[in-house]
Chains A and B, each alone.
Chain A
Amino acid sequence: MTTLSTHTATPADTPQDAPMVAFRGVTKRYGELTVLDHLDLQVAEGEKVAIIGPSGSGKSTLLRVLMTLETIDDGVIEVDGQPLTHMPDANGSLVPASARYQRGVRGMVGMVFQSFNLFPHMTVRQNVTEAPIRVLGLRKAEARQRAEELLAMVGLEDKLEHYPAQLSGGQQQRVAIARALAMRPKVMLFDEVTSALDPELCGEVLNVIRRLGDAHNLTMLMVTHQMGFAREFADRVCFFNEGQIHEQGTPDELFGNPQRERTQAFLSAVNEAH
């Protein structure tokens, strides 16, 4: 079972708050390899959780199963109290979720990828309006207005008619953030969103995420190698190892006073690298 070594008073622990995201005994295997091992994790509404850990420990997989990009082999994932892979049938018992049900729940989650994945044949404006028009049924004018607001928030209001190839990596990633936000998700997932960027472009993307954290009651899970940012931004840091949360706590606890050997070894290795 998962070890929750340092248990801290995050909002997730206050019983009156149902968690926005809950992993209960989630297991994911690729053949012989167990990537998520009976994982338990609860994230409260509005909470910012940073996920750190060695390469291959399952951090991306955690986000990808929550985005339903991968299926799980065991356990339950809930978003805002609704199970992601199962749905209640007429008798109230759980059956595998239909595609339609899953699309409904998935709509509460948005994701930003390391490699941006903007649509190269569409302008910045089209990238941001496409899904709101097609999926949410927004009118073109509404979607445009939403896109303009979001692009202003990420500081790209002057790039509406540009194509992705005409933007820097940092700008592209900010468009990707605006594109995900345009769907008004309750939970946002960030998977190493600055790893493909030159150091001087990281800052602009992190600033956007920072502002997002201040302005919205958005629940965020972010996988990151930027310990400085995790420390300053997150409410809680989870150290991942071998498909489990090896240790978690507030940034001060986890970075300042890690309890377990693996965590200490990882953090000192990261510190040396910088």
Chain B
Amino acid sequence: MIELLPLLLQGTWITIKVTLLGSLVAIACALLAALGRISPIAPLRWLAIVYIEVFRGSSLLVQLFWLYFVLPMPPFNIQLSAFAVAVIGLGLNIGAYGAEVLRGAIRAVPRGQAEACHALNLSPMTRFGRIILPQALLAAIPPGTNLLIELLKNTSLVSLITLSDLAFRARQLNQATLMTLEIFGLALLIYFVLAQLINLGMRLLERRLARGRMRGGLS
């Protein structure tokens, strides 16, 4: 049993890295695409819509295959490591869902906030960055938490582009040792703990953003 752990932990470490970096990519994509989606500039809006619909509307696995197997071929000739593909692919995919969540949250900020900004003559940049976005982010945290946990679970697909993540190591060890119950039990537990860590982190963030506000039962 003990001798299984190092390999499983190596896989876990890959899973953690892909999840963390993928989350960052996802948040950046969500933010950019949400901004594009509400932009007054039509081509930016179209670009955002195409991105969102393509990545929401097709299989994540096929997206990963595209990035890993198709992009290196002509006419693209873009060669990425399996790790980079995992981070970018998972990030782009969840970012597309996140963009819609964020857009909803931005629209849900009461109109009076934008009107107060207008009356105070705040610039559009300040209005968005200092007043609207902080409020929208807070509202987007609960659905955002779900998406990040989704991203964590999606990392189990990256073994199909040759990364040795937690799920891959579990399957590998199972074949070698046939300690099926122990290995998959442990893998289940590790995923669960990681999901709880995401939960905890997001709750702390929510608490921080919600300081002074009576919202969602906090503070």
The answer to whether B116 and A165 have CB atoms under 8 Å apart is: no
Which residues in chain B, 91-129, are within 8 Å of chain A measured between CB atoms? 110, 112-113, 115-116, 118-123, 126
A226 → chain B closest CB, angstroms: 22
Which residues in chain B, 130-157, are within 8 Å of chain A measured between CB atoms? 130-131, 134-135, 138
The answer to whether B123 and A135 have CB atoms under 8 Å apart is: yes
Distance in angstroms between the alpha carbons of A179 and B205 in the assembled complex: 28
A138 → chain B closest CB, angstroms: 13
Distance in angstroms between the alpha carbons of A33 and B108 in the assembled complex: 28
Smallest CB gap from B126: residue in A = A134
Determine if A222 is an interface residue (Cβ-Cβ < 8 Å).
Answer: no
Distance in angstroms between the alpha carbons of A120 and B138 in the assembled complex: 11
Determine if B6 is an interface residue (Cβ-Cβ < 8 Å).
Answer: no
Determine if B82 is an interface residue (Cβ-Cβ < 8 Å).
Answer: no
Contacts A67-B119, A183-B121; A165 near B126 (Cβ below 8 A): no
Determine if A90 is an interface residue (Cβ-Cβ < 8 Å).
Answer: no
Contacts A121-B212, A134-B126, A165-B212; A183 near B112 (Cβ below 8 A): no
Indicate the member of A67, A120, A179 with the most B CB atoms within 10 Å. A120
Distance in angstroms between the alpha carbons of A116 and B119 in the assembled complex: 12
Interface string of A23-34 (1 = CB under 8 A from B): 000000000000
Contacts A113-B112, A117-B115, A134-B130; A180 near B135 (Cβ below 8 A): no
Contact of B130 among A117, A118, A130 (CB under 8 A): A130
A107 → chain B closest CB, angstroms: 5
Which residues in chain A, 119-142, are within 8 Å of chain B measured between CB atoms? 119-121, 123, 130-131, 134-135
Determine if A111 is an interface residue (Cβ-Cβ < 8 Å).
Answer: yes
Determine if B202 is an interface residue (Cβ-Cβ < 8 Å).
Answer: no
B118 cross-chain contacts in A, Cβ below 8 A: 67-69
A69 cross-chain contacts in B, Cβ below 8 A: 115, 118-119
B113 cross-chain contacts in A, Cβ below 8 A: 117, 119
Determine if A106 is an interface residue (Cβ-Cβ < 8 Å).
Answer: yes
Distance in angstroms between the alpha carbons of A118 and B112 in the assembled complex: 9
B120 cross-chain contacts in A, Cβ below 8 A: 110, 130-131, 135, 179-180, 183
The answer to whether A110 and B211 have CB atoms under 8 Å apart is: no
Indicate the member of B119, B131, B134, B214 with the most A CB atoms within 10 Å. B119
The 9 closest A-B pairs by CB, nearest first: A163-B212, A117-B116, A131-B120, A117-B112, A111-B119, A165-B214, A135-B121, A134-B126, A121-B134
Interchain residue pairs with CB less than 8 A apart (20): A103-B121, A106-B121, A110-B119, A113-B119, A115-B112, A117-B112, A117-B113, A119-B113, A120-B212, A121-B135, A134-B122, A134-B126, A135-B121, A135-B126, A163-B212, A163-B213, A165-B212, A165-B214, A179-B120, A180-B119
